[in-house]
Amino acid sequence: MDQLLQLTISGLAVGMVYALIGLGFVLIWKSSSVANLALGQIVLLSSWFTYGMLVQLNLPTLLGFLLVIIFALALGWVIERIALRPLIGQPILSLIAVTLGVGYFFEGLVTFVWPANSAALPRIFPTKPVQVGSAVISQEYIWIAGISLVIFLLLTAFFRYHRLGVAMRASADDQMAVQACGIPVTKVFSMSWMFSCTVAAVGGVLLSSIGMIAHGLVATGLKSFSVVILGGMDSFGGAMIAGPIIGLAESIGGGYLSAYVSGVTDIIPFVIIIIVMMIKPYGLFGETRIERI
C-alpha cells in the first residue's frame, strides 16, 4: 500500500512535467500546425544550458534561471526565423523533417559543448521528505507538480484573455482570415515558438532537478508526445489530463512490472501511443478532422 501511494504521487508529479512539455508541443501545433519533433532535444539543450549557468559559471540560482528563460526565448525565435519561416506553406513532410534536422543539430551541439555523458544540477527544491498518508516522499515532487500546474493555469488564462493568446487561437483556426484582419501571422508563429521553447525548458529543468541531465532526456521529450497523442493534439486541457495518466502508467506499471520485465518503464508511453493510434487516433479531447477533397 505504501509503495502504491508513493508510486502514485511520484507518477502524478512526473506526469505533470510531461504535460508541461506536451503543452510546449500543443502551443506550436495550435497556432501553426507544425509538429515540433525537436522537442526532446530542446529539453536536453536547455537542461545542459542550465547546468552551464548554475554549475559551470556558478551563478546564483535566480539569475541563472532568468538567463535560461531568456536563452529559451531566443532559441524559439531563432528556430522559427531560420528554419520554419522559409517553409511556410510547404507540405507537412518538409515541416516534420525540418524539425528533425533542427533536433539533430541540437544533439550535436550538446555533445560539442558538453561532451560529458551526464551531470547533475544542484538541488533547487528542499529535499526534506514529507509524509503523505502512510507514504514518505521527497518534497521535490510536490514542488515540481505545483510549478507545472501554475504554468498551465497561466498559459490557459493567457490564451483565453490576452489579445495575443486570442490571436494565436484565431490563427490556428484560419490563417487567411486572420491575416485579412490585420494580425501579423508571422509574429504569432514566432511568439508561439518562443513560448513553447520556454515551457519545454522549464519542464526540462524540473525533470533534471529531480534526476540527472543525460541523453535520455531526448527520449523523455519524445515521451511527452504520448501525452499529446492521448490528450489530443489541439487541447490544452487534454494534455493536462493525459500527462498525469501517462505518468501514473509509467510509474505504477514500471514499479510493479520491472520485477518481471526489466526496464519496461521506458517504453510504456510508447506502447500507449500505439494503442491510442489503433483505437482512438485523435486522442481523448482532440478534434476529429473531417477531410474533404
Partner 1 sequence: MSLPCGTRNYTYAEDMAIFRTKTHWVFLACLTVLLLTLPMFLGKFWMGVANLVLITLIAATGLNLLVGYCGQLSIGHAGFIAVGAFTSAVLTTKMGMPFLVGLIGAGIVSGAVGLIFGIPSVRVKGFYLAISTIAAQFIIVWGLSHWGLTGGSAGISAKDPSIGPFEFVSDTSKYYLVLFFTVITVFAAKNMARTRVGRAFIAVRDNDLAAEVMGVNLFYYKMLAFFAGCFLAGIAGSLLAHCYYGSLSAEYFTFTESILYVAILIIGGLGTTLGPILGVIFIRVLEQLLTVQVVPALERALPMLPSGFASGIAPMLFGLVIVLFLIIEPRGLSHRWNLFKAAYRLWPFSY
| Residues at the site binding partner 1, with contacts judged by CB under 8 A | 35, 37, 82-83, 86-87, 90, 92-94, 96-98, 100-113, 115-116, 218-219, 222, 225-226, 229, 233, 261-263, 266-267, 270-271, 273-274, 277-278, 281-282, 291-293
The smaller minimum CB distance to partner 1, of residues 7 and 222, is found at 222
The smaller minimum CB distance to partner 1, of residues 151 and 227, is found at 227
Helix (H, G, I), strand (E, B) or coil at 104: helix
Please tell me what DSSP assigns to residue 280. -
Give the number of residues written for the chain.
293
Instruction: Give min distance, CB of 34 to partner 1, in A.
Output: 9
Instruction: Give min distance, CB of 235 to partner 1, in A.
Output: 15
The smaller minimum CB distance to partner 1, of residues 102 and 167, is found at 102
Instruction: Give min distance, CB of 151 to partner 1, in A.
Output: 24
Element (H, E) at 135: strand 135-138
Half-sphere exposure in the Cβ direction for 252 (13 Å, CA): 15
Instruction: Give min distance, CB of 115 to partner 1, in A.
Output: 4
The smaller minimum CB distance to partner 1, of residues 87 and 154, is found at 87
Residues contacting residue 43 through CB under 8 Å, at least 6 positions apart: 21, 200, 201, 203, 204, 207, 217, 218, 220, 221
Task: Return the C-alpha cell found at 5.
Answer: 501511494
Half-sphere exposure in the Cβ direction for 86 (13 Å, CA): 7
Instruction: Give min distance, CB of 210 to partner 1, in A.
Output: 22
The smaller minimum CB distance to partner 1, of residues 90 and 134, is found at 90
Place of cell 530542446: 42
Residues contacting residue 230 through CB under 8 Å, at least 6 positions apart: 238, 242, 245, 246, 272, 273, 276, 283, 284
Element (H, E) at 149: helix 139-161
Instruction: Give min distance, CB of 94 to partner 1, in A.
Output: 5
The smaller minimum CB distance to partner 1, of residues 21 and 37, is found at 37
The single-letter code of the amino acid at 32 is S
Residues contacting residue 162 through CB under 8 Å, at least 6 positions apart: none
Say if CB 237 and CB 283 are below 8 A apart: no
The smaller minimum CB distance to partner 1, of residues 161 and 291, is found at 291
The smaller minimum CB distance to partner 1, of residues 116 and 136, is found at 116
Instruction: Give min distance, CB of 33 to partner 1, in A.
Output: 9
Instruction: Give min distance, CB of 95 to partner 1, in A.
Output: 9
Place of cell 519542464: 203
